[in-house]
Structure 1
Amino acid sequence: MLGFNEPEFRSQLASAVALRPRIEELVDRLVDEGFDNLLLVGAGGTYAQMWPYEHLARRSSGLPVRAVIAAELIVSGDATLGERTVAIFTSVSGTTDDSVRAIEYCKAQGAYTIGFTGYPESPVATKVDAALVTEPKTWPFDPQLLLFMGRLLSRRGEFDGYEKFADELAGIPGILVEVARQAEPAASDFAEAHQDTDYHFLVGGGNLWGFTYLYSMCILEEMQWLRTTRVHSAEFFHGSLELLEEDTSVIVFQGEDETRALTDRAASFARRVSKDVTVFDTRDHALDGISPEFRGLLAPLVLDTVMGRVSKHLERVRDHSLDLRRYYRVMDY
């Protein structure tokens, strides 16, 4: 597979799921001591990656859980933020300035702070009250967040199958290697067909809306300098559909939660207008070892792997490095 370091991929994911005992111990202590609300704080891609877990809590729990943008939190505040708040932060490098400042802000309000990163000496890891550290460069953070939210909901009596789910999640490194292998031909074909496409229209919903936002902004825009529109499948018929034309590249991210019908509806309409609609569907992957009732929870993790293959092939056909930036961490702002 192009640009795919399988040993590193497996090792990084294994380091994430290996945090299970520490995550469970931390969640149990927080629940036993009591807290009132949970803030999921991020910046850019790490903010978008919090949305599936806000969505999970919103449909499964009575606990107030909200994803917030780090920089906005600092300037706007949050009326719920206080001594009975738990705030979670994620950062691959552990150096994201907005997140570091938000940690300081939350701690000043008395909140208990948790950080997931790959660098134990980084500002994020050293400033939070509890740092849970994986191997360097481990991405995405879905395994850790699934374990945290799953255990939390289980302790609240809102997720009966947590133990079974967490046991099955231990096999995710090998499962996702197979996902990557299966996705490789389609990823190459998509990139070849869209080498010169400079605009993509992305649609997703449910627990894949965050990934839709992330892939649009953080990959196609930031890493490939391509223009995009991103729209939630439930909002598709309220404005953005007017941008569709016969040759518009429409990328649809389809998962297996209760919002699937909304995304199917948007994809069906898009095909009536555009001749270039591509659906990336988690149902196309076996996920051996994962019970049917848990497949929907893994949709962001599965499509992150699939689209990681697409990204590497776009890098190849467009001769545009995924590491190239004009402004981000290049210029002061």
Structure 2
Amino acid sequence: MLKFDETLFLKLVEEEGLAFRGQIEEIVDGICQRGFSNLFLIGAGGTIAMMYPYEYILKSNSTIDVHAVIAAEFMAMNHKHFTKDSVCIFTSVSGTTQETVAAAEYCKAGGATTIALVAEPGTPLTRIVDHCITTGSEKHSFDTFFMLLYMVVFRFMHNRGEFPQYEQFTKEVALLPRAILQAVKVFDSRAEAFAVRHKDTAYHMMVGSGNLWGNTYSYAMCILEEMQWIHAKSIHAAEFFHGTLELVLEDTSVILLKGEDETRPLTDRVERFCEKITRELTVIDTRDFAMEGISGEFRKHFAVSINWAVLSRISVYLERERNHPLTLRRYYRQMEY
């Protein structure tokens, strides 16, 4: 596969990533023993998008009070649920994202407990927070972060007495890297075909819901817009029929992300509509991937990781077909703004 080192992937995500389980459990257990009032999942751009699935999971499976908030807005809004008893969780690949670092300082000053997942060691965010898990590599960092956030979130639920399946769940988390690897192999030819077909497509609609809404939002904004300079719009499947449907024509590219949670009927409805209108409907459905060894009960949660991994294969081929490196920027970190 183009730009995919299987050995490196397994080393970083399976071997090294899974080894953080003990550290995560120690951190979460200590917080739960002391007591806390709520969880704040804080990020900017791709990292707030990464938090949306876990907010959805908590809201649909737990009574823990949870808020996924955009870092800059959170600091500006005087959030009345934020107190010294809050637990604030951050992720950052570089550990230098300006808004995330500032939000971590803000939370620390407010007396809250802070946790971060960071790829790069010795960076500002790692030095601010109370608890930091440093993965050590930017490569496959999102795959690793997603996996570690499962451990964090479901440990909090387990300690609340709301997730007695925790031990079985973590056994299946350990199977996730191999499930991801198999999925990207299966999807790779589809990813390449999409990139070849759409290398000159000027606009994409991306539609998703439930725990795939974050991926929908992130891929449209962070990949298509930021990394490829392609016009894109992320649309929640529940809102698609309140405006956006009027822009669908026979040649409109609609990328529909289908997961396996309770909101799947919402994406089914969008699919039925788009099949009647556009010849450029692309459906990426996690049901198409085996996820060997993972039980039906947990597939809906792991759909987040599977979906992001296969979308990442499209990115690699768009980069090649469009001769547009994913690292190329006009403005981001190129100038003051």
- Relative to the length of structure 1, the TM-score reads 0.98
CA distance in 2, matches of 1:104, 1:196: 43
Please name the residue that 1:294 is paired with: 298
Segments ≥4 residues shifted beyond 6 Å:
none
Shift in Å, 1:17: 2.2
Q: Partners of 2:5 and 2:308 in 1: how far apart?
A: 16
Counterpart amino acid of 2:252?
Answer: T
Distance 2:20 2:199 in 1: 40
Q: Identity rate of aligned residues, in percent? A: 48
Tell me the SS of whatever aligns to 2:201: coil
Q: Does 1:105 align with 2:109?
A: no
Cα pair 2:207 2:236 within 8 Å, conserved? yes
> Shift in Å at residue 77 of structure 1?
2.3
Whole-Å separation in 1 of the counterparts to 2:54 and 2:332:
27
CA distance in 2, matches of 1:71, 1:209: 21
> Residues 120 and 126 of structure 1 are in contact (CA less than 8 Å); yes or no, is this contact kept in structure 2?
no
Paired residues for 1:152-171 under 5 Å:
152-171=156-175
**2:321 counterpart of 1:317:** yes
Tell me the distance in 2 between the aligned counterparts of 1:22 and 1:235: 40
Match of 2:250 in 1: 246
Alignment partners' CA distance in 2, 1:159 and 1:270: 38
What is the rounded CA distance, in whole Å, between the counterparts of 1:124 and 1:247 in structure 2?
Answer: 45
* Cross-structure match for 1:139: 142
- Mapped partners of 2:61, 2:173: distance in 1: 20
Residue 301 of structure 1 aligns to a residue in which SS? Answer: helix
Residue 217 of structure 1 is matched in structure 2 by 221
| Shift, 1:224, TM fit | 0.5
Do 2:205 and 2:233's aligned partners in 1 also have CA atoms closer than 8 Å? yes
Is the 1:252–1:278 Cα contact (8 Å) retained in structure 2?
yes
Look up the match of 1:34.
35
Structure 2, unaligned runs of 5 or more: none
Q: Which residue of 2 aligns with 1:2?
A: 2
How many residues end up aligned between the 2 structures?
Answer: 333
State the Cα RMSD in Å. Answer: 1.0
Asked if 2 retains the 8 angstrom alpha-carbon contact of 1:234 and 1:262, the reply is yes
Aligned to 2:205: 201
Mapped pair 1:57 → 2:58: yes
Aligned to 2:23: 22
Shift of 1:119: 2.3
Q: Secondary structure at the match of 2:206?
A: strand
CA contact (8 A) 1:35 1:84 kept: yes
- Specify the code of the residue in structure 1 equivalent to 2:142: W
Give, in angstroms, the shift of residue 83 of structure 1. 1.1
- Structure 1 gaps, min length 5: none
In structure 1, the partner of 2:238 is 234
Distance in 1 of aligned mates of 2:109 and 2:257: 39
| Superposed displacement of residue 4, structure 1 | 0.8
Q: How far is 1:25 from its partner?
A: 1.1
Q: CA deviation at 1:120?
A: 2.6
Distance 1:277 1:82 in 2: 46
Structure 1 SS opposite 2:67 = strand
Residue 80 of structure 2 is matched in structure 1 by 79
For 2:23 and 2:266, the matched residues in 1 are separated by 37
Aligned equivalents of 1:199 and 1:183: distance in 2?
22
Tell me the CA shift for residue 222 of structure 1: 0.4
Q: Is the 1:223–1:323 Cα contact (8 Å) retained in structure 2?
A: yes
